[in-house]
Amino acid sequence: MMLPGKPAKILLIDSNVLFAKRLGDTLKREGFEVTATTQAAFALTTLEYDKPTAIVCATNMREMGALEIAKIIHADASNASLPIIALGDGSQRALMEAFQAGCDDYIDRQLSPATIANHVKNIIVSKLEGFQPTQMLGQADTSLSGNLTHHDLTGVMQMLGHARQTGALTINAGETDAVMFFDAGEITHAECGSLFGDEAVLHILKSCVDCDSGVYKFVYGATSAQRTVLRSATDLMLDAMREFDETARDTAGQLADKEAQ
């Protein structure tokens, strides 16, 4: 992938040298210029004289990882738009923590280097050309759609929020048939069956965790006259993950009790 006149430069930060070598080589085959380091602090010392197009950083670094450097780097107005892509264990909670820390995206490091490199390419193109998630829709398209087996709902919602999009996101997954309206990236109204507002958003998110089927569609520009969602998307996502974890633990405990009887 090329930027006007020169290749895009990736600063890759990972303490696993073998993993970094494999991913770095794959990124180079995609057309990137890659600088790899095992020290996250290195990124902070090079930004003034050798600024990369994007930083790809692991979250499990011993001293400072993606979550920490995202806050530090984006606190500087001159680097506020520098994409920081976190590499982690792939869990929903880790994804939310990455977005909450200010990372631009989060990728499961257990995926193949080719898959990770392709995701990185899509993120950078998205940043350069405006909001275009993984399927890279043309500018003339008026809607965005995808399969929830390939894209988690929280990731889609975060992308819409970061890009400050306005429109309606419909979700059809199992028994969940819902819609969420966004206004400049904020969720303003949500409906799912008889549920409305914050309660509907929580239900939608919990029902789509580990979703093995389902589709979503975002129609640009659609608006709602109602304002029923009062909390931020991040707060709702974190609460949904907490409630989902608590329910899973209770269910596991009940099963264990039955087996013990």
Beta bridge partners of 186: 183
Contacts of 91 (CB under 8 A, 6+ apart): none
Round the average pLDDT of the chain to a whole number and report it.
82
- As a whole number, mean pLDDT of residues 103-125 equals 84
Contacts of 148 (CB under 8 A, 6+ apart): 171, 173, 208, 211, 213, 214, 215, 216
Identity (one letter) of the amino acid at 64?
Answer: M
Token pair for residue 229?
């969602």
Query: What CA dihedral angle connects 251, 254, 260 and 261, to 10 degrees?
Result: -140
For position 87, what pLDDT does the model report? 93
For position 10, what pLDDT does the model report? 94
Contacts of 108 (CB under 8 A, 6+ apart): 87, 88, 89, 90
- As a whole number, mean pLDDT of residues 186-207 equals 93
- Classify domain 1-129 by CATH number: 3.40.50.2300
Reported in sequence order, the residue ranges of 160-251 that DSSP labels E, i.e. its strands, are 167-173, 176-183, 186-192, 195-196, 215-220
- As a whole number, mean pLDDT of residues 226-250 equals 87
- As a whole number, mean pLDDT of residues 143-154 equals 69
For position 131, what pLDDT does the model report? 42
CA distance 251 to 153: 23
Asked whether the predicted pLDDT for residue 136 surpasses 50, the reply is: no
Token pair for residue 230?
């009062």
What residue spans in the chain does CATH classification 3.40.50.2300 cover?
1-129
pTM for this one?
Answer: 0.57
- As a whole number, mean pLDDT of residues 180-201 equals 93
pLDDT band at 180 (very low <50, low <70, confident <90, very high): very high
CA 176-182-144 angle, to 5 degrees, is 70
Q: Between residues 146 and 124, which one has the greater pLDDT? A: 124
Element (H, E) at 6: strand 6-7
